[in-house]
Every structure is written in C-alpha cells, then in structure tokens.
C-alpha cells in the first residue's frame, strides 16, 4: 500500500540513494523527457495530511519529506520519509521508502514500483497502473488477499502563478468495504 502514498503521495514518490540521478529543485527546468507527470513531480517536497481508519474512527496525522529525481533509466525515483502520529496518542511510526514511476508505451499510462535498497537493479514492479490526464494522476492497485485489498489514489496538480502544489486522496477497500481514507497536501520545500 505504501506505493500509493508515494504517488500520492507523491502518493507520491521521494529521500536519498545511490541511484545515479539528475537533481531538480521546484521551479528549475530539467529535461524530463518532456514527460508531463515527471514535470509535475520533480523536486523536493513536503507533505502533510491525515488518514482516517473508517471502522475505528482512528485518525493519524501524516508528514513526509520527499525528493523526486530522474534516474537516467527513464524513471522518476522518489525517496520518501514518512512520519505517522496517532491523534489519540500512541507511538509514532517513521519509515523510509523509495518508489519509481516509469512511462509505458501508451501515452499517460505508467508502471509503478519500489526500489530494492539492497539491490537497486532488482527493483520490484507492483501490480499498479497510473493514468495521467490533464489535471490528475490516478493509481489503482489490487493486493491479492482474501478479501482482496484495493487501493485507489487520485492526485490533483496545481500551478497557480508559479506556485506548485498537489492534493492526494487515497481510499483503501477490503472487498467492497472502505477501511481507510487519506487526504494529503504536497508543496515544494
């Protein structure tokens, strides 16, 4: 499920690695192969938001520091450091993940994956597909289980007077029942 947080969270996608890359800061022109999604996501980002566990009503504050760069292999790699803090108290959870997005041979369609930190050449592709329209990036992922877990995220990109940001909504379902939802706001650092 974390792959979607990067896309969104991207759900997103972003921290540090030995993957060779071209660094891009928000607002700096970088040849992203003219890929519109990469153009939206390149740079250093900060994310904040909230996840709600539908059944229990438990609320979790989310924060992330993200760096998204081109890796020289036609992919956007996103290093993410997430902090989750339960609003009702309890232990915080901090984790780091590295994700990638690569365009397919179909315009506006992307594969997603997670970087294997021990062997970057053995990156795992997840069974998720992202689709880009003029205004949003939607990711659908089905995780095999009984009942199946389905994760859907929608990221809307904004660029108002040169100020970039994005908003991501993520919904997680077990079978037909929604079990959690998240709203996350991304802004350049």
DSSP string, 16-69: --SS--B---TT-----TT-HHHHHH-EEEEEEEEEEETTT--EEEEEEEEEEE
Q: Residue 104 corresponds to which tokens in the numbers above?
A: 């397919």
CA dist 9 and 7 (Å) reads: 4
Residue 122: its pLDDT value, please? Answer: 63
Peptide bond into 147 cis (omega under 30): yes
Mean pLDDT of the chain: 82
Residue 25: its pLDDT value, please? Answer: 32
CATH assignment of the domain containing 144: 2.40.128.20
Number of domains in the chain: 1
161-187 as b/e: b if 16+ CB within 10 A: eeebebbbbbbbbbeeeeebebebbbe
Q: Residue 100 corresponds to which tokens in the numbers above?
A: 């990638």
Give the chain's residues under pLDDT 70. Answer: 1-33, 120-125
Residue 12: its pLDDT value, please? Answer: 32
Residue 117: its pLDDT value, please? Answer: 72
Q: Residue 189 corresponds to which tokens in the numbers above?
A: 């650092």
Over the stretch 99-153, which tens digit does the pLDDT of each residue have?
A: 999 999 999 999 998 887 777 666 666 778 899 998 899 999 988 889 999 999 9
Domain that holds residue 122: 2-188
């Amino acid at each position: 499920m974390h792959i979607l947080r990067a896309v969104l969270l991207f759900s997103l996608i972003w921290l540090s690695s030995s993957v060779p890359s071209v660094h891009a800061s928000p607002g700096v022109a970088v040849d992203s192969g003219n890929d519109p999604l990469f153009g939206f996501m390149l740079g250093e980002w900060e994310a904040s938001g909230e996840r709600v566990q539908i059944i229990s009503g438990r609320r979790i504050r989310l924060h992330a520091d993200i760096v998204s760069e081109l890796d020289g292999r036609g992919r956007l790699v996103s290093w993410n450091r997430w902090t989750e803090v339960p609003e009702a108290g309890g232990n915080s959870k901090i984790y780091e993940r590295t994700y990638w997005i690569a365009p397919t041979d179909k315009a506006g369609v992307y594969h997603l994956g997670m970087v294997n930190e021990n062997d970057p050449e053995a990156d795992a592709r997840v069974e998720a597909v992202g689709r880009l329209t003029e205004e949003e990036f939607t990711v659908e992922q089905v995780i095999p289980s009984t009942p199946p877990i389905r994760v859907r995220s929608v990221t809307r990109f904004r660029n108002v007077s040169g100020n970039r940001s994005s908003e991501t909504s993520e919904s997680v379902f077990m079978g037909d029942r929604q079990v959690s939802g998240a709203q996350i706001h991304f802004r350049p650092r």
